[in-house]
Amino acid sequence: MPRSVQPWSGGLRRAVLTATLLGVLPVHAASLSDLTKHELVGPVKSVVTKHPQFRIIQQFDQSGRLVEMELQATGELHLSHYVFLYDALGRLMEEDTVEADGNILYRKSYRYGQDDHGRESAVVATTEDGALAHADFRLYDDRGLLVEEVAFNGNGLAEKSLYDVQGNFIYTARYFQGKLVLEASHHYGPAGRIEESRFYNGDGHLMRRDFYRYDEAGRRIEHQSEFLRSAYLRKSVVTYEIDEVGNWTRETIQRWTEKNGILSVSETTVSREREISYY
């Protein structure tokens, strides 16, 4: 297998990407900590996330950095094993895909750039043969707050994100091969928590509206979606069980469909479960 090709099976890759796109809050991951990217808080040591088609095992160090990850499709013995290496400043420098015998199958290297004020303004990841894996560029205002972020990869996917004066992620536009395919806007309440997201297709038509509900401690306990352009699916409601630290451990989704003008529950299933250990 060429080293510039990510060594996942096609089915596993699609399952992981689908879960990532549909199962998380709309936050742009490039500028966030590893724990925040994976919806985690507290002194997390390891997480086993079980999906219907696969499971993910993640190991974090005491600084909250992701140091190892394994992906395993349901019913398969083969594991995809990833190792993440950091420099003295805590920046990710290398991502290795490691075979069972310890040989490195795929290596991705990271390099960083700074603006005139010493703020991180560019991150570029390349493969061993010099091909672009992905890149991220950031602009800041006079106060040093992130206002705009542009990310793209070597497969023609690009994304532009905008932030408000409080640092909230409020807008994203996604392009493929130069063509706009998705826009999203995100709206926040007085407490600074996201309350609603709206998703539009490349022609500007509203496709989906998402609403979020929190408990008194500010933890997300429900995520509801309304589908406006789907043939049958009209609504989904995702609820969460929370542990004593504040991390969700079970995600249950209920889907509503419309048939002959009647709206009814078509499916209720546990979509993800997490086993979390702490330092």
Q: Which two tokens stand for residue 51?
A: 């999906």
pLDDT tens string 75-88? 887 789 999 999 99
Distance CA 116, CA 21 (A): 35
Look at residue 3 and tell me if it is in a domain.
no
pLDDT (tens, 9 = 90+) of the chain, 279 residues, equals 333 344 444 444 444 444 443 334 444 545 578 999 999 999 999 999 999 999 999 999 999 999 999 999 988 877 899 999 999 999 999 999 998 888 999 999 999 999 999 999 999 999 999 999 999 999 999 999 999 999 999 999 999 999 999 999 999 999 999 999 999 999 999 999 999 999 999 999 999 999 999 999 999 999 999 999 887 889 999 999 999 999 999 999 999 998 888 888 999 999 999 999 999
Distance CA 178, CA 161 (A): 16
Separation of alpha carbons 137 and 144, rounded Å: 15
**What is the pLDDT, as a whole number, of residue 30?**
52
What whole-number distance in Å separates Cα of residue 184 and Cα of residue 186? 7
4, part of any domain: no
Instruction: Judge whether 218 lies within some domain.
Output: yes
Q: List all residues 6 or more positions away from 232 whose beta carbon is below 8 Å from its beta carbon.
A: 257, 258, 259
Residue 148 lies in a domain: yes
Alpha-carbon distance of 59 to 194, in angstroms, equals 28
Residue 122 CA to its chain's centroid (Å): 19
pLDDT at position 181 is 97
Q: Which residue has the tokens 């909230």?
A: 168
In a domain, 1, yes or no: no
Q: Give the position of tokens 């998705």.
A: 182
Structure tokens at 84: 């993440």
State the pLDDT at residue 31: 58
Type of residue at 235? K
Residue 5, in any domain of the structure:
no
Q: Quick one: CA torsion of 70, 73, 78, 81, rounded to 10 degrees?
A: -20
> Does residue 2 belong to any structural domain of this protein?
no
The domain in which residue 42 lies consists of: 10-278
Q: Does residue 120 fall inside a structural domain?
A: yes
One-letter identity of residue 20: T
CB atoms within 10 A of CB 69: 19
CATH code for position 44:
2.40.160
State how many domains the chain has. 1
